[in-house]
Amino acid sequence: MRIEEIRLENFRNYARLKWQPNPLINMITGGNAQGKTNLLEAIFFGFTGHSFRTNRDREMIRWSSSFCRVEIDFWLDEQHNSTVILLTAEGKKQRKLNGKSGHTLDPLLLPVVFTPDHLLMIKGSPEMRRRWLDQELGPLQPGYLACLRRYQQVLAQRNNLLQKIREGQRTRQELEPWNQQLASLGTRIVAWRCCLLAKLFPIVREIYAQIGGKDEKPGFSYLSSLPLERATGETEILERFFGELSRRCNEEIARGQTLVGPHRDDMVTTINGQDARRFGSQGQQRTMVLALKLAQLELGKRFTGDYPIILLDDVFSELDQNRREQLVGRIQGKTQVFLTTSLSTGWEMSVLSGRKITVLDHVLYEGG
pLDDT reported for residue 315: 85
Among 95-99, 148-152, 156-160, 329-333, where is mean pLDDT lowest? 329-333
Residue 264, CB half-sphere, CA atoms under 13 Å: how many? 14
The CATH number of residue 319's host domain is 3.40.50.300
Domain membership of residue 123 (yes or no) is no
pLDDT reported for residue 350: 55
Q: How far apart are CA 36 and CA 128, in angstroms?
A: 23
CA dihedral 47, 53, 56, 61 (to 10 degrees): -70
Q: Which domain holds residue 10?
A: 1-111+308-368
Q: How many CB atoms lie within 10 A of CB 318?
A: 16
pLDDT reported for residue 351: 58
Domain membership of residue 137 (yes or no) is no
Is the pLDDT assigned to residue 62 strictly greater than 90? yes
Q: pLDDT grade, residue 208 (50/70/90)?
A: very high
pLDDT reported for residue 353: 64
Proportion of the chain above pLDDT 90, given as a percent: 62
Query: Cβ distance 94 to 23 under 8 Å?
Result: no
DSSP per residue over 187-213, as a string?
HHHHHHHHHHHHHHHHHHHHHHHHHH-
Domain membership of residue 303 (yes or no) is no
Question: Vertex 337, ends 335 and 341: CA angle to 5°?
Answer: 160
Average pLDDT over residues 262-277: 94
How far lies 361's CA from each of 14, 31, 32, 293, 342, in Å? 9, 10, 11, 32, 16
67-76 vs 25-30, strand pairing mode? unpaired
Average pLDDT over residues 16-29: 92
| Mean of the per-residue pLDDT values of the chain | 89
For the whole model, what pTM was predicted?
0.85
Condensed to tens digits (0 to 9), the pLDDT of residues 102-143 reads 766 666 678 999 988 888 899 899 999 999 999 889 988 989
Domain membership of residue 12 (yes or no) is yes
Of 179, 177, 184, 211, residue with least CA distance to 325: 211
Is pLDDT larger for residue 325 or for residue 65? 65
Domain membership of residue 263 (yes or no) is no
Average pLDDT over residues 282-287: 87
Q: Give how many domains the chain has, as a whole number.
A: 1
Domain membership of residue 17 (yes or no) is yes
**Distance between terminal CA atoms of the chain?**
23
pLDDT reported for residue 365: 79
Q: How far apart are CA 188 and CA 240, in angstroms?
A: 13
Among 167-176, 286-295, 354-363, where is mean pLDDT lowest? 354-363
Q: Residue 173 — φ and ψ, nearest 5°?
A: -60, -25
Is the pLDDT assigned to residue 231 strictly greater than 80? no
> Beta-strand (E) ranges in 253-347?
266-271, 274-275, 310-313, 337-340
Burial 341-367 (b: 16+ CB within 10 A, else e): beeeeeebbeebebbbbbbeeeebeee
Domain membership of residue 339 (yes or no) is yes
Average pLDDT over residues 224-246: 89
Query: Cβ distance 324 to 211 under 8 Å?
Result: no
